[in-house]
Amino acid sequence: MKYQGSCHCGQVKFVAKGELTEALSCNCSICQKKGSLLWFLPSNQVKVSLETPEVLANYTFNKHVINHHFCKNCGIHPYAQGIDAEGNSIFAINVRCIDDIDLDKIKINYFDGRSV
Ligand SMILES: [Zn+2]
């Protein structure tokens, strides 16, 4: 399956390939404030297209190992990028930014990121 998504204004777009059946709801300091639902997948299954390279901003905190990307124009966070425990480059897609997604069809797993 291919899933298309974007920020609110459409200047940051992505296509993610894979089977989306579950998403992660995390209560860590940033996920709780963003309200994002995350889908993790290898970076080679995600293609990003930007209206201009300058539109994409990056926010990091704590250990600065996760790049929380967001659109400078509309402020929406469509995805984050990082390295997993095995050293692989991965994306965390914000499932809420996928076009026409029916969130009721996706199993939500709750993760206590605040206690990690
Ligand atoms: Zn935008």
- Residue 65 confidence class, pLDDT cut points 50, 70, 90: confident
Query: What's the average model confidence in pLDDT over 32-40?
Result: 94
- Please state, for a pLDDT cut of 70, what percent of the chain lies above it: 100
How many Å lie between the centroid of ligand 1 and the Cα of residue 69?
11
The average pLDDT across 56-79 equals 94
Q: From residue 98, how far is each of 26, 37, 38, 39, 77 by CA, in Å? A: 18, 11, 11, 11, 12
Q: Which domain holds residue 73?
A: 2-115
Mean pLDDT of the chain: 95
Count of structural domains, the chain: 1
Which residues lie near ion ligand 1 (Cβ < 5 Å)? Answer: 7, 9, 11, 71, 73-74
Q: What CATH number is attached to the domain comprising 39?
A: 2.170.150.70
Instruction: Look at residue 63 in the predicted model and tell me its pLDDT.
Output: 87
Kindly give the distance from the C-alpha atom of residue 54 to the centroid of ligand 1, in angstroms, as a whole number: 12
Q: Is 53 in contact with 65 (CB distance < 8 Å)?
A: no
In the prediction, which pLDDT does 52 show?
96
Structure confidence by residue, pLDDT tens digits, 1-19: 999 999 999 999 999 999 9
pLDDT of residue 110: 95
65: region left, alpha or beta (phi > 0 left; psi from -120 to 50 alpha): alpha
| pLDDT (mean) for 16-38 | 94
- Binned at pLDDT 50, 70 and 90, residue 64 comes out as confident
Q: Which tokens belong to 95?
A: 């499932």
